[in-house]
């Protein structure tokens, strides 16, 4: 029973890329070494962040679909220095390299001035993003809570 529930959960998150975008599904993209994140919870705004720099909001949109398993999001920073961010998303299994989790989409992000980052994207579990400080791990397998 447990295995079948896990399989159903995985199937629920593996949706065709352009179908997910057409239905307004938010996406969370991320990468490691260096760590970075791109929150596309709102298709008109991409929020890019790294642990050592402030979040930058990019106003943009997805290009019209040209390929069933590929999509492109383009945005321009509202900050005075401006600059464009382009995210090319592809449907297909993606490993973040730090866990055994397989994510449904891969992404290549090009930042202003040409820096490129690669990573994975997934649909948020709750349909949105988690605000910092809005959750707390109280217990779990291999986790010992110390009061």
Measured between alpha carbons, how far is residue 22 from residues 26, 52, 99, 123 in Å?
Answer: 10, 33, 29, 13
What's the number of domains the chain is made of?
1
Would 132 be classed as within a structural domain? no
Would 31 be classed as within a structural domain? yes
Q: For residue range 19-71, list pLDDT tens digits in order.
A: 656 566 789 999 998 899 999 988 799 999 999 988 999 999 998 877 788 99
For residue 131, the model assigns a pLDDT of 47
For residue 5, the model assigns a pLDDT of 40
CA–CA gap between residue 9 and residue 25 (Å, rounded)? 16
| CA-angle at 37, arms to 34 and 42, nearest 5° | 165
Would 46 be classed as within a structural domain? yes
Would 131 be classed as within a structural domain? no
Would 130 be classed as within a structural domain? no
Domain that holds residue 72: 2-122
Mean pLDDT of 98-117: 91
Kindly report the pTM of this predicted structure. 0.70
| CA-angle at 82, arms to 80 and 83, nearest 5° | 165
For residue 113, the model assigns a pLDDT of 87
Tell me the pLDDT band of 105, cut-offs 50, 70 and 90: very high
For residue 97, the model assigns a pLDDT of 80
Would 95 be classed as within a structural domain? yes
For residue 140, the model assigns a pLDDT of 47
For residue 126, the model assigns a pLDDT of 59
């490129």: which residue's tokens? 116
Would 145 be classed as within a structural domain? no
Would 86 be classed as within a structural domain? yes
By percentage, how much of the chain surpasses pLDDT 70?
Answer: 69
Mean pLDDT of 73-96: 89
Q: For residue range 8-31, list pLDDT tens digits in order.
A: 333 334 445 556 565 667 899 999
Query: Which range has the worst mean pLDDT, 20-24, 71-75, 138-142?
Result: 138-142
């Amino acid at each position: 029973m447990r295995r079948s529930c896990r399989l159903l959960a995985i199937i629920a998150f593996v949706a065709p890329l352009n179908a997910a975008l057409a239905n307004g599904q938010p996406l969370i993209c991320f990468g490691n070494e260096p760590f970075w994140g791109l929150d596309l919870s709102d298709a008109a705004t991409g929020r890019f962040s790294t642990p050592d720099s402030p979040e930058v909001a990019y106003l943009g949109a997805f290009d019209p679909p040209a390929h069933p398993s590929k999509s492109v999001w383009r945005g321009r920073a509202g900050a005075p220095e401006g600059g464009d961010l382009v995210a090319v998303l592809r449907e297909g299994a993606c490993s973040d390299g730090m866990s055994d989790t397989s994510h449904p989409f891969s992404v290549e992000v090009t930042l202003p001035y040409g820096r490129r980052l690669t990573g994975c994207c997934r649909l948020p579990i709750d349909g949105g993003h988690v605000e910092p400080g809005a959750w707390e791990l109280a217990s779990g397998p291999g986790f010992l809570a110390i009061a």
